[in-house]
Amino acid sequence: MSEIASQRPSRIVVDLDAIGHNLQAIRARVGVPVMGIVKANAYGHGLVPVARHLQAQGVDQLGVAFVEEGIALRRAGITTPILVLGGIFGPQVAQFLEHDLEITVSSLDKLRQVEATAEAMGRKASIHLKIDTGMERVGVHSYSAGPFIEAAAASCWCTLKGIYSHLACADDPGSPMTGLQLERFFEGCAHFERIGAPMPLRHLANSGGVLHFPDTWLDIVRPGIVLYGVLPDPASQATIAMRPALSLVSRVVFFKVVNAGNPVSYGATWQPAVDTRIVTVPVGYGDGYPRALSSRGQVLLHGQTHPLVGRVCMDQFMVDIGPQGSAYNEDEVVLIGRQGDAGISTEALAKRAGTIPYEILTGLNERIPREYIGGTDSR
Ligand SMILES: *Cc1c(COP(=O)(O)O)cnc(C)c1O
């Protein structure tokens, strides 16, 4: 971390040991290999340090969304197999092959593009077939997957490593959609048996699948958010003992008394009914702290919860610590995480902001320095 960054009062603290613990807890639950999903800057936790730690912890495979993320991992010296989950564009195929990245092939056309590039480069492509079982995003519909699977199984320039699909409703243990998707997925996989080709790795389970649907674990699971110790949805059940890995902390940068009736922040949307004490915290929506938390957020100061008041600005926001509250410049303020006996979870913050934990975590951007604790085996 640069000297200037280390002087910034705001930081994200990532506990690598918590991520390692969550990986082992997932493993213990599912009993099959794990593909750790590290897309979107490892859900805001930092792509390379997290991948390095997962590799040191023996994760079987890594998954990212885009080829650029895979290349960044290879450039950082990560040697674990990496699957790029997103749809591909033909001109990108050469990059996959150069950097030894596994390709998601989601149509017959794309299979042909991969084969052509692999042949031209004289290098076999490692591929996973994407079957659409109900997400209607990318992939060949399970009910028309026959010719696609036959072509892939017969391909000289592709090593068929996996076949997979993605669950739309696994966050909710009560949704009947998951059973339906599993059934459709098996229908797609049955083409391998029909043509007598060896079955590649079958995978389906995201975090929701890992938490709630043992039938979806199959040959390898693809957890993302639970690796970071966060539940996907308020309806989800914590069937794994997880530890949240991320804290977001800052410090008081200003203290003042605001007189009754004097509005605070842009738009003058909030004013105190009585004279009160207000502190300013130097974090804003420009860091990825949601503006939707205006007059809805909470922070911890001296181990107690206090309300965020008025609008969140680009670089700062204000907190009402009450008529009797006391605070000094540089006092620690916790936005996500624990302070003393109190805590603010990513899940709770997401609820207040009217969004999901994924959006909170992935929104925390590069302007906030990340600091790593634990994980001594990967640093
Ligand atoms: C993001 C993603 C995952 C991980 O999802 P979580 O809900 O975070 O576990 C798994 N599979 C695919 C295809 C994904 O895009």
What's the rounded mean pLDDT across residues 362-375?
A: 96
Q: Are 346 and 233 in contact (CB under 8 A)?
A: no
CATH of domain 246-344: 2.40.37.10
**pLDDT tens, residue by residue, 316-344:** 999 999 999 999 999 999 999 999 999 99
Ligand 1 atom closest to 210 (CA): 9
Residue 130 annotated as catalytic: no
Pocket test for ligand 1, best of 23, 29, 30, 37 (most atoms within 8 A of CB): 37
What's the rounded mean pLDDT across residues 129-135?
A: 98
Is residue 68 over pLDDT 70?
A: yes
Instruction: Specify the pTM.
Output: 0.96
Ligand 1 atom closest to 226 (CA): 9
Q: Are 298 and 320 in contact (CB under 8 A)?
A: no
Distance 224 CA to ligand 1 centre (A): 6
Q: Which residues line ligand 1 (CB under 6 A)?
A: 37, 39, 85, 166, 206-207, 222-225, 232
Residue 110 annotated as catalytic: no
Give the model's confidence band at 70: pLDDT under 50 very low, under 70 low, under 90 confident, else very high: very high
Alpha helices, H only, 199-345: 207-212
What's the rounded mean pLDDT across residues 291-319?
A: 98
pLDDT at 29: 97
Give the model's confidence band at 5: pLDDT under 50 very low, under 70 low, under 90 confident, else very high: low
Handedness of CA 224, 10, 234, 27 (dihedral sign): positive
Answer yes or no: is 137 a known binding residue: yes
- 14: tokens are 């990532």
Residue nearest to atom 6 of ligand 1 (CA): 224
Q: Are 70 and 37 in contact (CB under 8 A)?
A: no
Distance 166 CA to ligand 1 centre (A): 8
Pocket test for ligand 1, best of 29, 172, 222, 231 (most atoms within 8 A of CB): 222
Is residue 286 over pLDDT 70?
A: yes
pLDDT at 1: 45
Ligand 1 atom closest to 85 (CA): 13
DSSP state, 369?
A: P
Per-domain residue ranges for the chain? 16-228, 246-344
Write the class of the CATH domain 16-228.
Answer: alpha beta
What's the rounded mean pLDDT across residues 207-226?
A: 98
**pLDDT tens, residue by residue, 232-278:** 999 999 999 999 999 999 999 999 999 999 999 999 999 999 999 99
Q: How far apart are CA 143 and CA 287, in angstroms?
A: 44
Answer yes or no: is 314 a known binding residue: yes
Which amino acid belongs to residue 261?
A: G
Task: Using DSSP bridges, classify how beta strands 332-339 and 82-84 pair: parallel, antiparallel or unpaired.
Answer: unpaired
